[in-house]
Chains A and B, each alone.
Chain A
């Protein structure tokens, strides 16, 4: 049965979208994130909004025993901060780490990178060089193939910020 689009339902949907993007849009007169290939990445928002937008309030378990977050505790140059995320446990087609998100709490673009893995990787490990604007917590959020979310975080002291603009 085709759904009829009444004014009421249309407004309701617009409202839901509006709530999701409103906070980002306030800081974002230019659609800085909209130009990218992936519209869910690169938005300027607060970290709470970002996590809510990406994970929709799903419960996250404390994975500090599971996730090894390898970051220098003091980064002299925030423009290049090497981050390595390693998750213990084997990657089998039945149970593997599907996605690893790297989140820098105080960056203007807090959702820094998203890595999608397949069981062929053999081990849940990714590394990337990221920018940090100031001293901040850096989190890794992993999603397993069954949908469970785990998170771990670590503070990084930044002497010279690297995000500029």
Chain B
């Protein structure tokens, strides 16, 4: 699973100043579920799933997500931001195995 941590971010291409735009991002991640043995007992191990997602725009935080194992594999998120100036949107994912994945996409004004 060398793909873990691959992030795709989609920002609208036709943005004008002052627009509220919706950004979608997706990360390739297994988001392991809790496993149980034959007796129904939870197997105790360090499950690998994303606990925190933070999104910043122009260096300022826009949205942050705290996640659990109830979130799907290869999770996709969307959030809104008010486009005040062209600049970078950065999304950072942190998982329980210490993985930190980051990607930046620029918002370009039309």
Contact = CB atoms under 8 A, between A and B. Distances in A.
Nearest to A31: B44
A32 B96 CA distance: 11
B68 A42 contact: yes
A148 to B, nearest CB: 20
Closest 10 CB pairs of A and B: A122-B82, A30-B44, A127-B78, A42-B68, A122-B20, A129-B72, A123-B80, A112-B70, A125-B80, A114-B66
Contact of B42 (A28, A107, A118): A28
Contacts of B94: 37
Interface string B2-38: 0000000000000000001010100000000111100
A85 B54 CA distance: 18
Contact of B41 (A29, A41, A110, A163): A29
A99 to B, nearest CB: 10
A111 interface: yes
A128 B75 contact: yes
A128 B74 CA distance: 11
A36 B65 contact: no
A154 interface: no
B79 to A, nearest CB: 5
A121 B65 contact: no
Nearest to A101: B66
Interface of B: 20, 22, 24, 33-36, 41-44, 46-47, 49, 51-52, 57, 60-82, 94, 96
A104 B70 CA distance: 9
A18 to B, nearest CB: 21
11 contacts: A35-B46, A79-B72, A82-B76, A91-B82, A107-B70, A112-B68, A113-B66, A126-B78, A128-B71, A131-B71, A165-B34
Contacts of A123: 20, 80, 82
B22 to A, nearest CB: 6
A109 B76 contact: no
Contact of B76 (A29, A121, A124, A127): A127
